[in-house]
Amino acid sequence: MDNADIDWKNLAFAYHRTHFNIRYTWRDGAWSEGILTNDETIPLHMAATCLHYGQECFEGLKVFSSQDGEALAFRMNENAHRLARSCKKILMEPPPPGLFKEAIFKVVRANADFLPPYGSGASLYVRPLVIGTGPRVGVKPAGEYLFLVFVTPVGPYFKTGFKPVPLVVEENMDRAAPLGVGDVKVGGNYAAGMKASMNARKGGYADVLFLDAKHKRYIDESGPANFFAIRDGQYITPESHSILPSITNKSLVTLASEFGLDAVRRQVEIEEIFTFQEAGCCGTAAVITPVSYIDWRDRRAIYCRGEQAGPVCTELYNRLLAIQTGDAPDTHGWVTRIPLD
């Protein structure tokens, strides 16, 4: 278990064993001290609510190496708050933001030699999760919870990296109901979307584009990422109660405005795909993944031919990466330096 075998420049988005994960237990009304362990498994009661009733949520954030070897976490406070929101929505005990920060700091420091080097294109992906561990047979919240954080060094989510990928519009399966849990990061949303995503991959697409479940008329998001498009100086991204509020997307809205685009959140009709000049998926794992074309029914909306992303996607990608790696000044207070010693 060391990092000697890692080819940093060709890392996939996959689990890689590291030294330690950190765990906290909520029991009798209080969170325990954090325990760093090298155990990759969890002892679990067979009637735990996470196994039966889906009491589970998670987060994803990235830590980057700066040119002078510092560990820079991107917008981790936003992840802390979203995790708490997810917990509350499915009646789990939310880890307080201070505990979240302590966990990230400790687990990153304990795995410092798995932080990919500056310039490798890779980063340390941090995966916090909360699960209901207390036993229940009736449908009600658990009395005990586990908050665990592990890390894994990763490359790009879509294996092409910053190269355009095709999407297909999914009309026969929904990811999330309008008043359901699509706006929080609970595991059930991914179970709901998995079949559609796998079908899309079998069909040669990188992923799907889900439509709103009620009208089947507006764009929601992709399987693991939000959607945005560029048209006539506008950055357009869907407004919907059933999509995850992406921290990357929120950052791109700010960056797009800064370089003169008009950033607009609104319902986006699926028919509009034929009017966009560029399109992209965005998220922690996906970063910005430009979209080459979108297939909808028997029609195709094409944004790029070949491997060249559009100019606005490229500019946004470069600006985002520069802030994340400390190459550009952090004027918004998005970056947290994690002490490694």
Say whether 83 sits in a helix, a strand or coil.
helix
Residues between 195 and 234 with contacts to ligand PLP, criterion CB under 6 A:
221, 224-226
Partner whose binding site includes residue 244, from ligand COI, ligand PLP, none (CB under 5 to 8 Å by kind): ligand PLP
Q: Which of 109, 49, 99 is nearest to 76 (CA)?
A: 99
Q: Which of 97, 98, 94 is nearest to 84 (CA)?
A: 94
Tell me how far apart the alpha carbons of residues 95 and 237 are, in angstroms, rounded to a whole number: 30
Residues between 286 and 325 with contacts to ligand PLP, criterion CB under 6 A:
none
Is residue 256 close enough to count as binding ligand PLP by CB under 6 A? no
Is residue 283 close enough to count as binding ligand COI by CB under 6 A? yes
> Rounded to the nearest whole angstrom, what is the least distance from the CB of residue 224 to ligand PLP in the complex?
5
Is residue 153 close enough to count as binding ligand COI by CB under 6 A? no
Is residue 248 close enough to count as binding ligand PLP by CB under 6 A? yes
Partner whose binding site includes residue 246, from ligand COI, ligand PLP, none (CB under 5 to 8 Å by kind): ligand PLP
> Rounded to the nearest whole angstrom, what is the least distance from the CB of residue 249 to ligand PLP in the complex?
6
Is residue 285 close enough to count as binding ligand COI by CB under 6 A? yes
Contact segment (CB under 6 A) with ligand COI among 229-237, 266-274, 277-285, 318-326 equals 277-285
Residues between 310 and 339 with contacts to ligand COI, criterion CB under 6 A:
none
Q: Which of 8, 198, 13, 25 is nearest to 114 (CA)?
A: 8
Q: Given candidates 55, 246, 324, 336, which one binds ligand PLP under the rule CB under 6 A?
A: 246
Structural element, H or E, at residue 277:
none
Partner whose binding site includes residue 120, from ligand PLP, ligand COI, none (CB under 5 to 8 Å by kind): none
- Give the nearer residue to ligand PLP in terms of CB position, either 284 or 336: 284
Q: Given candidates 18, 120, 251, 284, which one binds ligand COI under the rule CB under 6 A?
A: 284
Query: Shortest Cβ contact with ligand COI: which residue?
Result: 60
Of residues 62, 185, 214, 216, which has the active-site annotation? 185
Tell me how far apart the alpha carbons of residues 17 and 151 are, in angstroms, rounded to a whole number: 8
Tell me how far apart the alpha carbons of residues 87 and 145 are, in angstroms, rounded to a whole number: 10
In the residue annotation, 185 being an active-site residue is answered as yes
In degrees, rounded to 5, the angle at the alpha carbon of residue 54 between the alpha carbons of residues 139 and 187 is 160
Tell me how far apart the alpha carbons of residues 76 and 84 are, in angstroms, rounded to a whole number: 13
Q: Which of 244, 332, 233, 226 is nearest to 288 (CA)?
A: 226
| DSSP strands (E only) in 101-179 | 123-132, 145-154, 165-170
Tell me how far apart the alpha carbons of residues 239 and 219 are, in angstroms, rounded to a whole number: 9
Residues between 210 and 239 with contacts to ligand COI, criterion CB under 6 A:
224
Count the site residues for ligand COI by CB under 6 A: 5
By the 10 Å C-beta count (0-12 exposed, 13-18 middle, 19+ buried), 119 is classed as exposed
β-pairing, 278-283 with 226-231?
A: antiparallel
**What's the length of the chain?**
341
Residues that are catalytic: 185
Binding site for ligand PLP (CB under 6 A): 60, 221, 224-226, 244, 246-249, 283-284
Binding site for ligand COI (CB under 6 A): 60, 224, 283-285
